[in-house]
Amino acid sequence: MALIKIDAARRIGSVDKNIYGGFVEHLGRCIYGGIYEEGSPLSDEHGFRKDVMEAVQALHLPILRWPGGNFVSGYHWTDGIGPVDRRPRQLELAWHSVESNRFGTDEFMRYCEVMNIEPYICVNMGTGTMDEARSWVEYCNGTGDTYWANLRRQNGHPEPYNVKYWGLGNEMYGSWQIGRLSAEDYVKKAREFAKVMKWTDPSIQLVGCGETGWTEWDQTVIAGLAPLIDYYSLHLYTGSDDYYSNVLAPALVDFALESCRATIDRVRFNQQISHPIHIAYDEWNVWFRQRSAESALEERYNLADALAVSSYLNSFVRHSDTVKMANLAQLVNVIAPIFTSKEGLFLQTIYHPLRLYAEQMQEVTLDVHVDCKQLTLTADQERSRGSNSIAALGPFKALDVTVTSDPDGHELAIAVVNRDLEQDHTTTIQFADPATITRGQVYEVNATDPSSTNSFEQPDAVIVQERQLELEGGNLTYTFPAHSLTILRLH
Ligand code: AHR
């Protein structure tokens, strides 16, 4: 029998809603044919797909990163403003396509406004100049009688957009990036970008470009940019067609966060930096099947992938004192929870945990004691994307558990990913104060087979099952089924 012990007094952090954020890039059918399809009977007067908006709304997305990704390192934002028919069609080198620029800053801002989502813009540090980056801030946030602020007014938006979050480039360490830099060169360049962007609008929050969280790049960049940045970004993609390699891979997130947190703490201490530097996991997902630009990254997800996504979310919640933003890459069609055709859409398996966590998890993370079967992954068994060994991080608990409460400690939300492929786990859930728990609701994501996949033909192969939980006071015994995500809401 497994054991989960919960004490609402043992609080370890407050969950920032921005960990349930998203990301849209000019890549394949994410924007064009995804969130934006002018002339479609499914779109509104602005060209936004209404069915997609409805699906996005249910994800309670608080923040959206744009316009890339690799795309941004060749993107000149001024190509995407003003009369649409005069915008240049540009050869796009990151994904080897053509960018029509029909969707630009004002369209993105309108989308965020209509959807009540906070915008997060990443600037071009590949082919882009410092002046381009700072004038983008001025175009969005300027209030004076200046060229860029007036141009925004002329383009139909008298009020400033007040974009708060700005990313200092994307994956500048990678050979695949237009304008790749060494860590030292990136620091030098990013300092100057940061300076003029903050001088343009001192209220903005800057996000430094991080790698995995445990590399030399991370050490150098955190040390070099600490005085200027408010967030440090990490990226991680995992996945495997081996079940255990896939569902256990998010252990890398815990490792990344703990390593990166230690570096940030050390640098802040040594440099006597008083402002906080949080982590923004601004790209993360399962992604290993559709890797090429030709595939347009149209990954189809199964139940195992949804369990991995649940464990990513568990890691963010578990480290809620450190991670204050995370952006699932991406939102529609491209490695995404929502998949469209010209006629409609279906929800991928990974959509369900994303919706459930944003909807059900509470504001305060609680420390939790879990005693259960351990799983091991041997180096021979491991078949994973990337070169970092997950096996070395084991053994792993079969039950990956996080617990949150409301600020009063009355409402509890317990997320349990049972990663065991074969075995259900009957578990005693022990409360420090059992008398307060009288009612409950269960949300379960599961299917007969972890390879079950949703599609246009079978949109409901993996869905959320919901039921009431009968409680008799005192502790609770609950059986978590093999290969499932369960969220228990107790009050
Ligand atoms: O999300 C897909 C790509 O993955 C992004 O463009 C890039 O930043 C990352 O390598």
Q: What is the pLDDT of residues 252-295, one digit of tens each?
A: 999 999 999 999 999 999 999 999 999 999 999 999 999 888 89
| Mean pLDDT of the chain, nearest integer | 96
Q: Summarize the confidence of residues 224-249 as an average pLDDT.
A: 97
* Count of alpha carbons within 13 angstroms of residue 356, beta-carbon side: 31
**171 is an active site residue:** yes
484 pLDDT exceeds 80? Answer: yes
Could you tell me the distance, in angstroms and rounded to a whole number, from the CA of residue 454 to the centre of ligand 1?
A: 24
Q: Which residue has the tokens 């090429």?
A: 292
Q: Classify strands 278-286 and 323-329 as parallel, antiparallel or unpaired.
A: parallel
The residue whose CA has the least distance to atom 8 of ligand 1 is 69
Q: Residue 60: is it exposed, middle or buried by C-beta count within 10 angstroms (0-12/13-18/19+)?
A: middle
Among 237, 130, 259, which Cα is nearest to 176's?
Answer: 237
Ligand 1 pocket test target in 65, 234, 283 with most atoms within 8 Å of CB: 283
Q: Summarize the confidence of residues 6-22 as an average pLDDT.
A: 96
Q: Summarize the confidence of residues 372-397 as an average pLDDT.
A: 87
HEC secondary structure over 86-131: HCCCEEECCCCEEECCCCCHHHHHHHHHHHCCEEEEECCCCCCCHH
Calpha distance 237→130 (Å, rounded): 30
pLDDT classification of 314: cutoffs 50, 70, 90: very high
Per residue in 95-143, pLDDT (tens digit) is: 999 999 999 999 999 999 999 999 999 999 999 999 999 999 999 999 9
pLDDT at 378: 83
pLDDT at 162: 98
Calpha distance 54→420 (Å, rounded): 34
Ordered by where they begin, the domains of the chain are 2-9+366-490 (2.60.40.1180), 15-362 (3.20.20.80)
Could you tell me the distance, in angstroms and rounded to a whole number, from the CA of residue 68 to the centre of ligand 1?
A: 7
Q: Which residue has the tokens 């990513």?
A: 312
pLDDT at 148: 98
- Contact status, residue 133 vs residue 170, Cβ threshold 8 Å: no
Q: Given 99, 107, 211, 283, which residue is catalytic?
A: 283
pLDDT at 1: 93
Structure tokens at 234: 């990490």
- Contact status, residue 406 vs residue 428, Cβ threshold 8 Å: no
pLDDT at 472: 76
pTM of the entire structure? Answer: 0.97
Could you tell me the distance, in angstroms and rounded to a whole number, from the CA of residue 6 to the centre of ligand 1?
A: 38
DSSP 188-241: HHHHHHHHHHHHH-TT-EEEE---SSSSHHHHHHHHHHTTT-SEEEEEEEE--S
Q: Summarize the confidence of residues 348-357 as an average pLDDT.
A: 98
Higher pLDDT, 54 or 473: 54
Ligand 1 pocket test target in 25, 93, 207, 385 with most atoms within 8 Å of CB: 25
pLDDT classification of 380: cutoffs 50, 70, 90: confident
Structure tokens at 249: 């891979």
| Closest ligand 1 atom to Cα of 94 | 6
pLDDT at 272: 98
Could you tell me the distance, in angstroms and rounded to a whole number, from the CA of residue 428 to the centre of ligand 1?
A: 42
Q: Summarize the confidence of residues 393-421 as an average pLDDT.
A: 96
395 pLDDT exceeds 90? Answer: yes
Per residue in 142-179, pLDDT (tens digit) is: 999 999 999 999 999 999 999 999 999 999 999 999 99
pLDDT at 437: 79
User: What end-to-end distance do the CA atoms of the chain give, in Å?
Assistant: 24
Q: Summarize the confidence of residues 63-74 as an average pLDDT.
A: 98
Ligand 1 pocket test target in 97, 237, 290 with most atoms within 8 Å of CB: 237
**299 is an active site residue:** no
Q: Summarize the confidence of residues 43-69 as an average pLDDT.
A: 98
The residue whose CA has the least distance to atom 9 of ligand 1 is 69
Q: Summarize the confidence of residues 80-96 as an average pLDDT.
A: 97
Report ipTM for this prediction: 0.99
Calpha distance 136→149 (Å, rounded): 10
471 pLDDT exceeds 90? Answer: no
